[in-house]
Amino acid sequence: MSLQSSANEPAIELVGIDKKFGAVHANKNINLSVGKGSIHGIIGENGAGKSTLMSILYGFYHADEGEIRIQGKPVTIRDSQAAIAAGIGMVHQHFMLVENFTVLENVMLGAEGGQLLAKGVAGARKELKRLEKDYGLEVDPDAVIEELPVGNQQRVEILKALYRGAEILILDEPTGVLTPAEADHLFRILQVLRDQGKTIILITHKLREIMAITDTVSVMRRGEMVATRKTAETTVAELAELMVGRRVLLRVEKGDANPGPVLLSVKNLTVKDGRGVTMVDDVSFDVRAGEIVGIAGVAGNGQSELLEALAGIRKPVSGEILIDGKPVESADPALLRQLALAHIPEDRHHMGLVLKFEEYENSILGYHHDPRYGRGAMLDLDAVRKSAEEQIEKYDIRPPNPRLKTANFSGGNQQKIVVAREIERDPKMLLIGQPTRGVDIGAIEFIHRRIIEMRDAGKAVLLVSVELDEIRSLSDRILVMFAGKVVGEKSADADEQTLGLMMAGIAA
Amino acid sequence: MSTASVPLPAWINYGVIPLLNLILAFFFSGLVVWAIGENPFEALNFLIQGALGRGDAIGFTLFYATSFIFTGLSVAVAFHAGLFNIGSEGQAYVGGLGAALVALSLDHYVPWYVTMPFAIAGAALFGAAWAFIPAWLQAKRGSHIVITTIMFNFIGAALMVYLLVNVFIVPGKMAPETRTFLPGGQLPKLDWLMALFGLKLGPAPFNVSFIIALVMCYLVWLLIWRTKLGYEMRTLGISPTAAVYAGIPYVRTVIIAMLISGGLAGMMSLNAVMGASARLQVEFVAGAGFVGIAVSLMGRSHPVGIILAAILFGILYQGGADLSFEMPNITRDMIVVIQGLVIFFAGALEYMLRPAMVRLYQTARGK
């Protein structure tokens, strides 16, 4: 099992790592060896134990058994400080940034270099400039994190690890929020780093990335390391099968669209963000019944704000939103729900779900005034739980326990909770943002099928995703957004290069 | 990360951990008592005897607890909506004006049980009114509720002193207070309830407001966990962005939550004004509003927890008074120190023992 991942000596070795959480055996006797100066991929479904393994490596958890060796020497990693000292840098899937600090302050945090800040700030600014130049990760050092689009926040996370001079860089689902162009950019950085002798561990669900960038790859399933392969000697199909334990369908099967009348119409819509910057600039388009319109674009080009404006969360500065030809009077999510517009938001952790709620409480979020969940002022908890149980069964949400705290579901199952809630209302229009971000491959297949079913049932679907593959395989028409404008429309069979150029603002 | 996300069964979360916190608090209090040269076990004995040893002692303990239940509920309701209402003190004070106005106008004409519903409404209305301006400022202008409610405590205190000194004072008397209410404006004592347990209430002012407080506990439970409004408040309290997404109106929810919170604080005056002193006096709230913050924290903003925490603080208040009488070395201020330690361990250090408990629990359930 512990196939040496490169001819070089191992930078990091895990020997017999074992970890249990109560009854859950998260890691079973894991052996792994990653060669110095190589990119090693670890894939597996959510809950397969990848994150636990990396948390052990980064000192968040301690293994019950087993040994970690770095450059051949056994080490004990008590906490993240020790991990950093051992030369391990981590880029987390969920950002570990102080939201009201600037980029510079976040990068410096924990490495201020003395009691007085001035010297450290100057040094950090210089270092940041250098990193920016070398790797092309452009971020304004004085921008405040919470005002940056998600894609840029990710860059700060990567800069943070680089700033600390990590020799071994662990990236947990790094491209979840990046566009193909940005992901390619990241991959180029990773390749440069590898060529400089650094070691990279890439955790992902995405087989395409594994194939594109890694030298070697390990597959995890249910806490075990089931296989390690040289990337050049394996195929997407083999890896997918190893991961899920059965054959999976990688492309979405769908028939031709049957577009009906226009249900959702946007006219000259302009939206500004919290800073007063115009994020959506004079955008107009229609979505018809029975079609999926995909919006492609690099994160931060206005798709998020457009989606929020359509859902009534963000008030547009000017322009009109028409539903069934009638203008929507006010920005009010409750009113829009009444007009049969459902919304699967981009950020399920902060918007689509209340993570501290039990599952059944989230199954009515936004629809809690529906008389079927209780008359008058009261909530009928029996009715709520019953409908939650129905959704759990129909959408195969696991574990099937409506009383479980939502935070304790895996990413894929959390997303299914949102999808179930929004689709089960049988809306006429559906807004979908990043439907499969951080979702495992089995659930992706499931969610994609539901979206196609909605289309076939004559719903108007607007899909925003930074996964170009997802946009291309689901959409009937593709709109490309760049710098707040819709720069062009393509049919679903447009090739990736054309779309990529449009997303970069080069071609229209 | 690590142990914080591991779920523990309720009996550990709500039973074992608070109990251990309490034992720790008493242990350190004992050290303090020992340090000033008194016997901590004797002191504990005086405290317990003073709070629970006799019928009247229990009556006083429950009288204090009644006030703390009202203010604890007040803080908890706001807290569920993500609002930290520091103003229960002032809202209770102004609520007293509402209760007193009803009592003064009706006590000549009707028996107490007719006065009572009007007094409840009056106290709640005035308490809610005093919470309205901070609520409106928070909802509409984004002025932080902590700051505004603290300021309104001072404004409320000044207003009440002005009214008592200049308007309500009985001509010819020195004390800034209203006239004494007739029995029609008083809430009767619960001596029959104590008699059921073979106890004599004596002079203790334990009164009908205790029952009103228990009813309010039930209603608050119903509101928070069984109504759509409560669902909206909790959503807003935990995740404001999810509340926006769900179309929960921020302004309306914030204002309603604060009105309910202020109303509950105002009802505390029923106990002190109509149940005990039978007149409106200066500073009758005496810090109960602030104790309510500790009670709500300790009771995890749940009515059952609030009742238990309120009784604990009732014990500390009543038993503490007795203790400082029996052991003059232990002054009133020492009692405040002990109360502080309880708040410190049960509130601020609530989660200190949690990681250890998680490890113990995992080992016990184990491999």
pLDDT in the model for residue A183: 77
Are A8 and A38 in contact by the 8 Å Cβ rule? The answer is yes
What is the tens place of the pLDDT at every residue in A124-180?
888 888 887 776 667 888 999 988 876 678 778 878 888 887 888 899 888 766 666
B365/A356 Cβ within 8 A: no
Strand order of the β-sheet with A24-35 is A24-35, A10-21, A65-70, A73-75
Are A371 and B252 in contact by the 8 Å Cβ rule? The answer is no
| Section A324-352 average pLDDT | 92
- Under DSSP, is residue A489 helix (H, G, I), strand (E, B) or coil? strand
Does some domain include residue A266?
A: yes
Last residue of a domain, one of A178, A212, A244: A244
pLDDT in the model for residue A477: 95
pLDDT in the model for residue A179: 64
Last residue of a domain, one of A244, A279, A297: A244
Measured in angstroms, the CA of B101 and the nearest CA of chain A are apart by: 32
Q: CA separation (Å) from A368 to A217, A362, A384, A424, A506?
A: 46, 10, 9, 14, 46
Find the residue in B nearest to A379 (Cα): B227
B242/A350 Cβ within 8 A: yes
Determine how many CB atoms are found less than 10 A away from the CB of residue A165: 12
What is the tens place of the pLDDT at every residue in A74-129?
988 888 888 888 889 888 877 888 989 999 999 888 777 777 787 788 888 888 88
- Residue B2 — very low, low, confident or very high, per pLDDT cuts 50/70/90? very low
How far apart are alpha carbons A360 and B10 in whole angstroms? 19
B231 contacts on A by Cβ (under 8 Å): 361, 364, 368, 379
B229 contacts on A by Cβ (under 8 Å): 377
Domain count for chain A: 2
What is the tens place of the pLDDT at every residue in A374-426?
989 999 999 999 999 999 999 999 889 999 999 888 888 999 999 999 999 99
Domain count for chain B: 1
Measured in angstroms, the CA of A369 and the nearest CA of chain B are apart by: 7
Supply the Cα-derived Rg of chain B in whole angstroms: 21
B356 shares contact with chain A (CB less than 8 Å) = no
Q: Are residues A209 and A119 in the same domain?
A: yes
> Which residue range(s) make up the domain with A117?
10-244
Q: Which residues contact B211 (CB under 8 A, 6 or more apart)?
A: B190
Q: Which residues contact A12 (CB under 8 A, 6 or more apart)?
A: A32, A33, A34, A57, A68, A69, A70, A88, A168, A199, A201
Strand bridging mode A429-433 / A460-464? parallel
Residue A95 token pair: 């950002």
pLDDT in the model for residue A247: 57
Q: Which of B228, B229, B245 sits opposite A333 (nearest CB)?
A: B245
Are A297 and A149 in contact by the 8 Å Cβ rule? The answer is no
> ipTM of this model?
0.86
What is the tens place of the pLDDT at every residue in B25-75?
889 999 989 998 899 999 999 999 999 999 999 999 999 999 999 999 999
Does some domain include residue B326?
A: no
Q: What is the DSSP letter of B207?
A: B
B7 contacts on A by Cβ (under 8 Å): 405, 408
Are B153 and B89 in contact by the 8 Å Cβ rule? The answer is yes
Q: Are residues A338 and A216 in the same domain?
A: no
Residue numbers of B between 6 and 25 with CB closer than 8 Å to A: 6-7
Does some domain include residue A391?
A: no
Length of chain A: 508
> Which residue range(s) make up the domain with B150?
63-314
Q: Are residues A98 and A231 in the same domain?
A: yes
B234 shares contact with chain A (CB less than 8 Å) = yes
Residue A195 token pair: 């060529």
Does some domain include residue B263?
A: yes
Q: Are residues A215 and A306 in the same domain?
A: no
- Residue A1 — very low, low, confident or very high, per pLDDT cuts 50/70/90? very low
| CATH code, B172 | 1.10.3470
Residue B4, pLDDT above cutoff 60: no
Does some domain include residue B257?
A: yes
Determine how many CB atoms are found less than 10 A away from the CB of residue A328: 18
pTM of this prediction exceeds 0.90 = no
pLDDT in the model for residue B6: 64
Q: Are residues A226 and A275 in the same domain?
A: no
HEC profile for A476-488?
Answer: CEEEEEECCEEEE
